[in-house]
Structure 1
Amino acid sequence: MRRLLTVVLICLGITAGALVAASPAYATVFQTYGSGVNVRADAYLSSAVVGTLSGPTSIDVDCQKQGDLVSNSDGTSSWWAHVPALGGYVTVVYVAIPEDQLPGVPVCGDGPPPETSDITLADVQAMFGSRIANPSIVQTGLPSLNQAMRDANINTPYRKAAFLATLVHESRLEYNIREIGDTRVYGGRGYIQLTGDFNYGPAGQYLGIDLLGNPDLALSLQWSAPIARWYWTVARNINPYADNLDMGRVNAAIGYPAGAEDQRRCDSFKSALQYLTGSVPAGVICTRPSKLKGDTSQLTRTQFDTLAKNGGGLG
C-alpha cells in the first residue's frame, strides 16, 4: 500500500519534491495514508495524543527521530516524523514512502539550523510591544542573548518564540533586572529570574563562577544570558516542548504554579510566532498537564521529565 500510494502520488504530480516550494524552507512535504493516525507529543506510543489525522494528509516534516517500533500490514518502522504545524510526531509507518526512514530529512537535532539570523531590538518590539519597557537596556544585552541562543540551539522560529516569550515575562528582556520586592539572597535575577540556592549553586558550578558567594553576577551582562541558556538546556530540556508548540509545558518547566500567567505567556508566544512565521500554527498548547500545575521549581530535571510525560492509545 505504501509503495502503491507513492506511485499514485507521482502520477498525479504531487510528490514531496513538487510540494516543497509551497512549504517553509526548512520542511519537506510527505503524504500520509490511512485514517485515525495519531499525532503524538513525542516519538513514543506512551506519549500524549495531540491530534488525529482523519484521512490521508500532506504533512510538512522538519526532522525525524527514532522512538517506539510501530508495525502495520505494510511494514515496520521505529522512525517518527516531526510535524511542527501539528505539534508532534507521526509514525513513518503511515507515511506513503517505500522506505522505513524518511529520505532526505535530517535527524532531529542533527541538521543545520533552519533559522540563524540574530534577533534585533526592532524584532522584539514588534513581537511584544509595550512589554519592552527599556529599549536601551534590551539593545545592550542582545549580543550576549543572541550568542546564548546559538549555544542553546534556539535556532528555529518555534524555539525562538518560546524562549523570547518566556524572557519578556520573566525580565522584560532586561539582563540586569532584579525581581521587584524580592530581598532574598537568592531571589530572582537576570533574564530568566534565577531563584533559589538550588539553582544558583548548580548554575555557578556549570559556568565556573561563584554564584552562591556572589549572586549579583546573575545580573551582569557577562553572565545573565549564559545562565538563561543553562536553565533552558541543562536544568531543564525545554527546546522539545517549543518544537511541539507546547507552551503549557514550557511554562511548567520555568517553575511557577499554574494560573492566569500561563495564558498571558502563551499569548506572547503566539505573538512571537505570528511575527517570526507570518501566522500562528495550529496546535499551540497553552494549558499544562494536571501533574505540572503546581510549583515545579525545585524538581530535578529527571523528576520534571518524568512528570511531563503522559499519553496512551495507538499509533
Structure 2
Amino acid sequence: MPITEQQLLQILPKARPVAGIFLPALNRAMLRWKIDSRVRTAAFLAQVGHESGQLRALSENLNYSADALVRTWPSRFTAETAPTYARQSEKIANRVYGGRMGNGPESSGDGWRYRGRGLIQLTGRANYRAAAQALGLPLEEQSELLEQPEHAAQSAAWWWAQHGLNELADAGRFKDIGSIINTGQPGRTPNGAAERQALYDIAMRVLA
C-alpha cells in the first residue's frame, strides 16, 4: 500500500524539507520488502521515523559529553577515561564499535567508517557487508552510500525484513520491534519508547 506525501507528513511532520525526496524511495523499499499492510507500514514508518529524526538524520550523531559516555557505555568508559573522548565523534565511534559487529580493533577506524547510517541506523561492518550483498551495493568500500535516500530506505526495509519485523508487526508486537532495533533483543525497553509508540499511534490513524 503506497503512501502519499500528505500521509507521510501527517505521520512525520518534521520531515517536510525532505518528504518529496524520500516518498518514492520509501514506497519502493516497502514494496520490495513486503511492508505492504497497514500495520506493517505504520510500524515501519514509526520506527524509522524515530531512528532517523523523522528522515533528517542519516548518520549517527556521536557527539557525547564525558558524563553521557559513562552513562551510555559504562563498560567502555570510566570517569577517568571519558574526558579524553568527549565531543570527539570519530574517536568515540572507534572506541564503542571497535572489535565487534565485524569491525576491526579501535585503531582500525572501522567503528567510525561503519557507524550507524540509513533510516534504521545500520551499524557495524558485518551488517554493511550483508546489506551490500542483498542490495548489490559496494557498501564496505563506500559506506557513505547509506546516507542517500534510496539506499537509506532500502537498507532499512531489508534489515526490517531480515529480522522478522513484518511478522512482529502482524502480531501486534510493536514494542518488541523497537527493542530488537535498539537493544538487539525483545523485551528490553528501547531508547525513545514513548516517541516510537506515539508515532505508531498516529500512523495507524492516518493509514486507517
From the superposition, tell whether residues 213 and 162 of structure 1 become closer, same or farther in structure 2 (CA, over 3 Å): same
Higher RCO (Cα < 8 Å, 6 or more apart): 2
Deviation at residue 248 of structure 1 after TM alignment? 1.5
Q: Which residue is 1:174 aligned to?
A: 55
* Partner residue of 2:120 out of 192, 195, 198: 192
From the superposition, tell whether residues 179 and 225 of structure 1 become closer, same or farther in structure 2 (CA, over 3 Å): same
Segments of 5+ residues of structure 2 without an aligned counterpart are 63-88, 91-111
Deviation at residue 217 of structure 1 after TM alignment? 0.9
Q: Which residue is 2:194 aligned to?
A: 263
Cα distance in 1 for partners of 2:205, 2:198 equals 11
Are 2:99 and 1:215 aligned? no
Q: Which residue is 1:124 aligned to?
A: 8
Cα distance in 2 for partners of 1:128, 1:227 equals 19
Deviation at residue 260 of structure 1 after TM alignment? 5.2
Maintained 8 Å contact 2:52/2:119: yes
SS of the residue aligned with 2:137?
coil
Cα distance in 2 for partners of 1:125, 1:260 equals 23
Segments of 5+ residues of structure 1 without an aligned counterpart are 1-115, 278-315
Cα distance in 2 for partners of 1:215, 1:167 equals 19
Deviation at residue 259 of structure 1 after TM alignment? 4.4
Q: Which residue is 1:204 aligned to?
A: 132
* Partner residue of 2:38 out of 153, 157, 160: 157
Q: Which has the higher strand share?
A: 1
What count of residue pairs does the alignment treat as equivalent? 157
Matched to 2:20, the amino acid is: Q
1:243-282 matches, within 5 Å, as 243-256=170-183, 258-259=189-190, 261-277=192-208
Larger radius of gyration: 1
Q: Deviations over 1:192-221 (max 9, x none)?
A: 111111211111122222211211011123
Structure 1 range deviating more: 178-187 or 164-173 = 178-187
Cα distance in 1 for partners of 2:58, 2:130 equals 21
Cα distance in 2 for partners of 1:227, 1:259 equals 21
Cα distance in 1 for partners of 2:149, 2:42 equals 22
Q: Percent identity?
A: 30
Cα distance in 2 for partners of 1:191, 1:153 equals 17
Maintained 8 Å contact 1:176/1:224: no
From the superposition, tell whether residues 222 and 164 of structure 1 become closer, same or farther in structure 2 (CA, over 3 Å): closer
Q: Which residue is 1:145 aligned to?
A: 26
Q: Which has the higher helix share?
A: 2
